[in-house]
Structure 1
């Protein structure tokens, strides 16, 4: 039977495949529309800002909380276009590799939310970041629809 890290790494490959479909789609979006902020959507309301927010969530939960690294969060404005977003996620992929190697030993990850100390494990945190990504990926596609584009299917099963 496969180990949890092996299954999780395989699942992350599916997430990355879906993410790359989204990136290819975003390459068809004008530069102005990519950074256009829509107040109807949270987390900065632009496709760019949502992608940075997704990466920041990986930086927080995986790199900083789980692996105890001290990675600085990227600001929205540092990502000028989809190429910058892709580079940002390449950095995410690097520390994700470290996470998968250490996943079995990350059984009591301590963190704090709203002043309350809590404990989790690597699988729950991994599940959180990938479902969070898919939630916001849907918002990226919805923003593009509001701007007159025709979103593509970025589901894992397509």
Structure 2
């Protein structure tokens, strides 16, 4: 689990560096799919990750809007402010947490139940999904996207080059 979170953080950081080479107007431009824009999608990834972790911990959710963070610098600062809490939670993850239940009240009064393991995997898959959208937009701009490869990033416990 931890490896995939580290992978997402690594790739997100690479997308931030990619954004440094792109005009801000392109980062904010409305696009088809995803969250409708490059920077908004990066904001969304950090927001969703932190929000779910807060929910698992029984803490209040983040309710800010993208319009308050619509610059690369602001999104990076927000992400950095969230990361420590997320990282601490992920690093403390153990098998006993896998089947803990999360009860989410719905607007209609019903309650949806998920396991914590299911939520953690959703967080991971959610970001990977949006990385794909960023890659499409990158190609539409005629730019090389950030690599989505997990292999070769040095995240495995037995990774070495010979």
Normalising by structure 1, report the TM-score: 0.79
Provide the rounded CA distance (Å) in 2 between the counterparts of 1:53 and 1:15. 13
Which entry has the higher C-alpha Rg, 1 or 2? 2
- Check if 1:53 corresponds to 2:44: yes
Q: 1:113-155: CA deviations, max 9, x gaps?
A: 5644122222211110111001112112212222332323133
- Check if 1:137 corresponds to 2:137: no
Provide the rounded CA distance (Å) in 2 between the counterparts of 1:144 and 1:113. 37
Provide the rounded CA distance (Å) in 1 between the counterparts of 2:14 and 2:123. 18
Greater helix percent: which structure? Answer: 1
Provide the rounded CA distance (Å) in 1 between the counterparts of 2:74 and 2:151. 27
For the residue of structure 1 that corresponds to 2:133, the secondary structure is: helix
Provide the rounded CA distance (Å) in 2 between the counterparts of 1:68 and 1:41. 31
Partner in structure 2 of residue 123 of structure 1: 117
How do 1:5-154 and structure 2 match up within 5 A?
8-38=1-31, 40-43=32-35, 45-63=36-54, 65-100=55-90, 101=92, 104-105=96-97, 107-113=100-106, 115=108, 116-154=110-148
Normalising by structure 2, report the TM-score: 0.77
For the residue of structure 2 that corresponds to 1:52, the secondary structure is: helix
For the residue of structure 1 that corresponds to 2:131, the secondary structure is: helix
The alignment of Structure 1 onto Structure 2 pairs a total of residues equal to 148
Provide the rounded CA distance (Å) in 1 between the counterparts of 2:39 and 2:75. 7
Partner in structure 2 of residue 3 of structure 1: none
Larger CA deviation: 130-139 vs 95-104: 95-104
Gaps of 5+ in 1: 1-7
Instruction: Summarize the Cα distance change of 1:139–1:114 in structure 2 as closer, same or farther, 3 Å threshold.
Output: farther
Provide the rounded CA distance (Å) in 2 between the counterparts of 1:14 and 1:55. 14
